[in-house]
């Protein structure tokens, strides 16, 4: 079985079980019914997009695209999966046979990971038979919805932190595998590193750590703990100050580590006031290069509140891995067009109240005025703009005839996405960066042929 090959060049863990059951039951029963009705083979375009941004947000950040491509490579129904589906009578034998042969052979294009997006932006378009496109729905949405939620929150935090690094420390506050994806998404959106080791292994991210209160408490005194940490990890380490009394701890820290101490961490209390006191004392003691890291329920608002405090780095946990109030991006995956019996494309859309979508295949570009984005332009089916408008095309090919473009996967994909994000952020108007609730930073305009 291909699952048993050793560590792949894309840096993932060595064992790669099938991803094909990370799927809703109805995807496979719909497959069965369309195999029966003859509609399974109709060429189809499904589109992932958001009807709106989370309340008050000015922009969203696309993330998870690379992970979708990685999971697509393992989206096969092996005997294990088929046996389960058969034993539970989820689908009939015709459908089982189809699934046994399934390898995605269609095309996927979409916004490059790290790109910013707005309501209606066609983040991912899957063009394949109905059967091939529908079975990917749940997996695509799971990855896009979670990762984009985290990246969208991380981007706001990273932006407001300015040149001060933000570090993901949220693994313990979300599902253990979400934690890996979250670490990845925060780095796409500008964080510098993560506490998560598996994310380090899988995506080549820089991993970092300080120490916990338990480390201080297991020693007979704070001094003994600091001595142990410095002796074992070097004076470049970060000592945690608030197990007992911050001021005493700081004196001890410099006595133990000297003025070359790498950093100190504050994890409670009024971080702004404490940081100022700690900075003053560090400087007075001559530890002018010792850095101050703060942690403790930080989010973009708390980070903004610390802008004037002498803080050197932010460790962010709960709020970033839960999307800072928007734990899912609420993206949907909709059939927007299919070929009819004559081979012509037909645009389709449902009419459900408050949930309508815009049918038809789409071409998207960001209109740039000088160096600033002014509009999300979406053409149906093609975007034809006047020559005097400068437009940056937004969709890139990700999978072509079933062939995955691995430039977007693994560690390389994360770096590429990080660069894309930085470039797209630089293009946004200033209003995009206001933390207050408001309208999307630029309007989305649809152009129908």
422 and 190 Cβ atoms separated by less than 8 Å:
yes
202 and 11 Cβ atoms separated by less than 8 Å:
yes
Residues in 155-194 that interact with a copy of itself by CB under 8 A: 169, 171-181
150 and 115 Cβ atoms separated by less than 8 Å:
no
Tokens (6 digits) for 27: 């995807």
- Among 209, 305, 310, 381, the residue binding a copy of itself under the rule CB under 8 A is 209
Angle at which helix 65-73 crosses helix 137-161, to 10 degrees, equals: 150
- Alpha-carbon span 109 to 154, nearest angstrom: 25
Radius of gyration of the chain (CA): 25
Kindly tell me which of 214 and 371 has the beta carbon lying closer to a copy of itself.
Answer: 214
Kindly tell me which of 366 and 413 has the beta carbon lying closer to a copy of itself.
Answer: 413
Helix/strand/coil for 110: strand
Kindly tell me which of 28 and 425 has the beta carbon lying closer to a copy of itself.
Answer: 28
For residue 338, the tally of other CB atoms under 10 A from its CB is 19
Least Å distance, CB 178 to a copy of itself, is 4
The piece of 206-214, 285-293, 409-417, 422-430 that touches a copy of itself (CB under 8 A) is 206-214
Residues in 311-340 that interact with a copy of itself by CB under 8 A: 318, 321-323, 327-328, 330, 333-335, 338, 340
Q: What are phi and psi of 415, to 5 degrees?
A: -65, -45
Least Å distance, CB 448 to a copy of itself, is 19
Kindly tell me which of 20 and 432 has the beta carbon lying closer to a copy of itself.
Answer: 20
Q: Which residues contact 55 (CB under 8 A, 6 or more apart)?
A: 326, 437
Give how far the C-alpha of residue 64 lies from the chain's centroid of Cα atoms, to the nearest Å: 5
Least Å distance, CB 287 to a copy of itself, is 21
The piece of 34-42, 120-128, 361-369, 389-397 that touches a copy of itself (CB under 8 A) is 34-42
Least Å distance, CB 148 to a copy of itself, is 11
Kindly tell me which of 338 and 416 has the beta carbon lying closer to a copy of itself.
Answer: 338
- Alpha-carbon span 239 to 228, nearest angstrom: 11
Residues in 214-273 that interact with a copy of itself by CB under 8 A: 214-220, 224-225, 227-229, 231-233, 242-245, 267-269
Is the backbone of residue 329 left (phi > 0), alpha (psi -120 to 50) or beta?
alpha
Residues in 402-421 that interact with a copy of itself by CB under 8 A: none
Q: Give me the 2-31 binding string for a copy of itself, x by CB under 8 A, dash otherwise.
A: -xx--x-----xxxxx-x-xxxxxxxxxx-
Helix/strand/coil for 317: coil
- Among 60, 114, 190, 200, the residue binding a copy of itself under the rule CB under 8 A is 200
Residues in 80-139 that interact with a copy of itself by CB under 8 A: 80-81, 84-85, 88, 90, 92, 130, 134, 137-139
The piece of 42-50, 154-162, 371-379, 393-401 that touches a copy of itself (CB under 8 A) is 42-50
Using CB under 8 A, count the residues that bind a copy of itself. Answer: 116
396 and 388 Cβ atoms separated by less than 8 Å:
no
207 binds a copy of itself (CB under 8 A): yes
Helix/strand/coil for 293: strand
Q: Which residues contact 315 (CB under 8 A, 6 or more apart)?
A: 167, 169, 210, 265, 293, 294, 295, 298
Kindly tell me which of 197 and 374 has the beta carbon lying closer to a copy of itself.
Answer: 197
- Among 76, 125, 145, 424, the residue binding a copy of itself under the rule CB under 8 A is 145
74 binds a copy of itself (CB under 8 A): no
Q: Which residues contact 341 (CB under 8 A, 6 or more apart)?
A: none
């Amino acid at each position: 079985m291909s699952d048993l090959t050793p560590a792949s060049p894309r840096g993932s863990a060595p064992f790669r079980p099938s991803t094909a059951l990370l799927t809703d039951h109805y995807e496979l029963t719909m497959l069965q019914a369309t195999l029966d009705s003859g509609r399974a083979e109709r060429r189809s375009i499904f589109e992932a997009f958001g009807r709106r941004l989370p309340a008050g947000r000015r922009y969203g950040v696309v993330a998870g695209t690379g992970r979708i491509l990685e999971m697509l490579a393992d989206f096969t129904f092996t005997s294990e999966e088929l046996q389960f589906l058969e034993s539970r009578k989820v689908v009939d034998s015709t459908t089982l046979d189809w699934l046994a042969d399934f390898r995605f052979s269609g095309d996927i294009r979409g916004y490059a990971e790290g790109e910013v997006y707005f309501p209606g932006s066609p983040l991912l378009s899957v063009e394949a038979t109905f059967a091939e496109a529908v079975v990917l729905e749940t997996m695509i949405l799971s990855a896009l919805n979670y990762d984009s939620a985290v990246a969208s929150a991380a981007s706001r935090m990273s932006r407001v932190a300015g040149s001060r690094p933000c570090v993901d420390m949220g693994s313990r506050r979300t599902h253990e595998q979400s934690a890996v994806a979250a670490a990845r998404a925060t780095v796409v959106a500008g964080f510098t590193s993560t506490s998560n080791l598996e994310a380090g292994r899988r995506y080549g991210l820089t991993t970092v750590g300080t120490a916990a209160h338990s480390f201080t408490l297991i020693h007979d005194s704070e001094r003994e703990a600091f001595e142990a940490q410095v002796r074992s990890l070097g004076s470049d380490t970060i000592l945690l100050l608030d197990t007992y009394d911050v001021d005493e701890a700081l004196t001890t820290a410099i006595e133990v580590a000297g003025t070359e101490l790498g950093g100190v961490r504050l994890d409670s209390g009024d971080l702004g006031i404490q940081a100022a006191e700690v900075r003053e004392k560090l400087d007075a003691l001559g530890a002018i290069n010792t850095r101050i890291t703060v942690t403790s329920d930080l989010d973009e608002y708390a980070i903004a509140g610390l802008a004037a405090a002498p803080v050197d780095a932010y460790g962010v946990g709960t709020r970033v891995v839960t999307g800072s109030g928007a734990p899912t991006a609420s993206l949907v995956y909709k059939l927007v067009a299919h070929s009819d019996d004559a081979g012509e494309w037909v645009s389709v859309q449902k009419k459900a109240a408050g949930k309508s979508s815009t049918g038809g295949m789409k071409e998207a570009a960001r209109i740039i005025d000088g160096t600033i984005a002014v509009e999300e332009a979406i053409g149906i089916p093609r975007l034809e703009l006047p020559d005097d408008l400068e437009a940056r095309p937004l969709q890139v090919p990700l999978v072509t005839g079933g062939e995955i473009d691995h430039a977007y996967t693994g560690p390389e994909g994360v770096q590429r996405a990080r660069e894309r994000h930085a470039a797209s952020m630089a293009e946004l108007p200033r209003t995009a960066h206001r933390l207050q609730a408001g309208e999307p930073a630029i309007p989305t305009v649809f152009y129908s042929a």
